Structure 1
C-alpha cells in the first residue's frame, strides 16, 4: 500500500501533460486529428470525439475513434475555433458512465488550419477548483455527533475485491481526504467493489455506509461494497461515514 499526496499528484500530472505537448499524431493542415490510448499506450477504439464550435450553440461535430484509436475531422471550410473533447463509455453494473479523457493539449483549435489533439484514458488531475477528477468518488464523513473525528486527519484504505470496471485487478491504496463541495472526498477511484478501512492518527475507526435515517447500517472495522447514485450523485459514488470505536466494541 502507499499513501497518496494529492498536491504532489496534481503537480506530477501537470508535468506529464506538459511532457505530452509534442503530439504523437502527425498534423494535417485543415484537419483535426488525434489518437486515443490508455495509460499503457494501447489504442482505444469507439471513443466519442466531440469537436465543439466555440462560436455557435449546439453545432458540434461528432466522430469516433477507429480500430487504431485514431480520428480525423475535416475543418478545411470551417473558419471557426473548436474545443475538442473525448468521452469513453464504461460499463459499471447497470450503469453506463461517460468518462472524460485527458487531452495532450486543452487549448482550442483554429478551423481551416486544423491541429492535433491526442487523449489518454487516465485520472484527470485534481485541483482546488475541481477536486473530483473524472472517475468514481468516495465521500467519507464523520458520523452524526462524532465531533472528535477530524476528517482532515483521517486516512482511508481501499482494497479492490474482484475485477474493476476497467478490467484491471487494481491494488490497495491509502488516501487522505480532500475538501469538496460535497464533503470530504477521495477522487479518481476506478469503479468496482472495495473493502474500505479508516484510521485517525494511526488508530482504527469504525466505518459504515452512510445512512439516510431510514435504512439501518451496521458499524464495523471495515465496509465492503460498491458505488451507487445515492444523494443525487451525477456519477456512481460511494458514501461512507466513520466514528471512533465505542467502549466494548
Structure 2
C-alpha cells in the first residue's frame, strides 16, 4: 500500500532529527502525546512543530493520498527517544509500551504495514467523539521515533499560518479541534475566519455630515446603536456630535468645519442577567479620518467573533481587545517534570492540556454553536490565553493528561459573568465578561471583552 521510497525518506528524516536535536533547542520534554493525550514512556522528546523534518512531512502528505477515501491532515507531532537502540529487543520493548499506552487511552490500534525498521499504524477512537490518527514508528541505532497525524475527511479542516493562530483545526458537525504548539502562549481559535458581511443601501456623502447604517451579522437593522464623531479645526480644540440609529439602523450627524474621526460606535445588548456594550466593526474594515466639508459614509456591523483589524492583530495578538469574540486566561503553578519539590497542585511541563468548550443554549448569533476543543502540550510557562471564542454561554471542561483539574475563577463576583460555580472540579459554566455596559463608552473596531481569569490545579 505504501510507496517504496517512504522508508528512505524516513531514515533521512531520522538522521536530520538526531542531528537537529543534538545541535539546537528544537525539542522539549513530553510526558504525553499532544494529539492522542496518551501517556508516553519516560525520556520522550517532542520536536517543535516548525522543526519537523521535511522528509517526515512529505511522508505524511504521501500517506494522505493513499487509499480510496480522500483525506485531509490535521495536527502533526513527532516524539523521539534518543539512546542506544542497536539491540532490537530494547526498541521493540519501547514501541510495545507506546502501543499499550494508546490502548490505555481508549484508542484502537491497527498495524498497517511494516518494512525495514518502519512500522505504519492507524489509531481509532469512538468516544467522546470519533477520531482517527495515522502514524509510524522509525527504529534506528540511536533513536526510536513515533510520528502522528490526525486525519479526517477532506474539506473539513484548514491550516492557518498566522501568528498566534492554531497549528491546525478540524471542523465538523461535532467539534472544532484546535492544536496549539508548546511555545505558543495565546491562540485565536477562529483563525482568519470572519462572519459574512451584510449588504447596505447605497449612500452618497453629504457635505458637513457623516452618516450610515448599523446592522447585525444577519443583515438585521439595529436601532439604538450609538455613534460618536469629533472634529478639530484648531490643533487643541475639539467639537463633535453623537446620534442613535433609528428603526432602520440609520444615523446622521452634522459636524462643524475641520478634520473628523469616529471615536464611538457601540450597541448595548442583554447579557446574562445584566447588559453588555458591544464594539461595532466598520463594514469596509477600516476607519479613516475625513474632512467634514466633504462628508463621509460609514456603515457598521455587530459581530460575535472576528479580528478587529490586521493592524491590531500584528501589534497585540495576545490581547482580548484585538478580537470581537470572548476570552479566557488560564494560569497555574508550573513546574519542571522532574521537580520532586513541586507542590501537589502544580501542573508540570510536558502535560497534555485539553480545554473543551460546549455551547449551553443558543449562541449570541442565534446558532446552535459548535464544541471547541483546544489541545496543547505545556511548556514551563504558567499561563495560556484563548481568544476570539464566538459569543455565547459555554460549559468549560479542563483536563491534564486526560484527568480533570480543579478550576477557580480568580475574579468571581455576584454578577452573572465569569464562571459558575466560582470553584469547581473538572467543569463549570462560563459567560464572557464585558468591558463596558454603556454603548456610548465603546470605541469602534475594538474587542469589548475582558478575560475570564481561571486558575487550574492538579488534584
Verify same fold: TM over 0.5: yes
1:73 and 2:260 correspond: no
TM-score by length of 1: 0.70
What is the CA distance between 1:108 and its match in structure 2? 1.5
1:184 pairs with 2:364: no
- What secondary structure, in the 3-state scheme, does the structure 2 residue paired with 1:2 have? strand
Question: CA separation of 1:150/1:58 partners in 2, compared to 1, >3 Å: closer, same or farther?
Answer: farther
Residue 241 in structure 1 maps to residue 455 in structure 2: yes
Give the Cα separation in 1 of the matches to 2:243 and 2:290: 16
Please tell me whether residue 209 in structure 1 is matched to residue 415 in structure 2: no
Q: Which moved more, 1:54-63 or 1:2-11?
A: 2-11
**Hey, what's the Cα distance between the residues in 1 that align with 2:298 and 2:249?**
12
Question: Alpha carbons of 1:16 and 1:34: their partners in 2 closer, same or farther (altered >3 Å)?
Answer: same
1:172 corresponds to: 371
- Residue 38 of structure 1 and its aligned partner are, at CA, apart by 1.1
CA distance in 2, matches of 1:119, 1:64: 13
- Indicate yes or no: 2:361 matched with 1:162: yes
Larger helix fraction of residues: 2
**Higher relative contact order structure (alpha carbons within 8 Å, sequence separation ≥ 6):** 1
CA displacement at 1:40 relative to structure 2: 1.2
Q: 2:431 aligns with which of 213, 223, 226?
A: 226
User: CA offset at residue 3 of structure 1?
Assistant: 3.1
SS of structure 2 residue aligned to 1:184? strand
Deviation at 1:195, TM superposition (A): 1.0
Are 1:108 and 2:289 an aligned pair? yes
Structure 1 residue 82 corresponds to structure 2 residue 288: no
Q: State the distance in 2 between where 1:63 and 1:121 align.
A: 17
Q: Distance in 2 between matches of 1:4 and 1:107?
A: 35
Aligned in 2, Cα 1:39/1:23: closer, same or farther, shift over 3 Å? Answer: closer
* 1:40–1:154 distance in 2 versus 1, CA, 3 Å: farther
> CA-to-partner distance for each residue in 1:125-171, whole Å, 9 max, x for gaps?
162515312443222223575241569x7442211223455665433
Alpha-carbon distance in 1 for matches of 2:365, 2:296: 30
Higher Cα Rg, which structure: 2
The one-character-per-residue Cα deviations of 1:12-66 (angstroms, maximum 9, x if unpaired) are 44x978xx9x975412231211111111111111100111325556634110111
Alpha carbons of structure 1 residues 10 and 139: separation in structure 2 relative to 1, 3 Å = same
1:196 CA displacement: 0.6
In structure 2, the CA distance between the partners of 1:206 and 1:7, relative to structure 1 (3 Å rule), is closer
CA distance in 1, matches of 2:409, 2:330: 8
Pick aligned residue for 2:327 from 137, 141, 147: 137
Query: Which of 6, 12, 27 is residue 204 of structure 2 equivalent to?
Result: 27
Structure 1 residues 237 and 9, CA gap change in structure 2 (3 angstroms): closer
Across the aligned residues of Structure 1 and Structure 2, the Cα RMSD in angstroms comes to: 3.8
Counterparts of 1:53 and 1:225 in 2: how far apart (Å)?
A: 41
- Relative to 1, partners in 2 of residues 1:149 and 1:117: Cα closer, same or farther, differing over 3 Å? farther
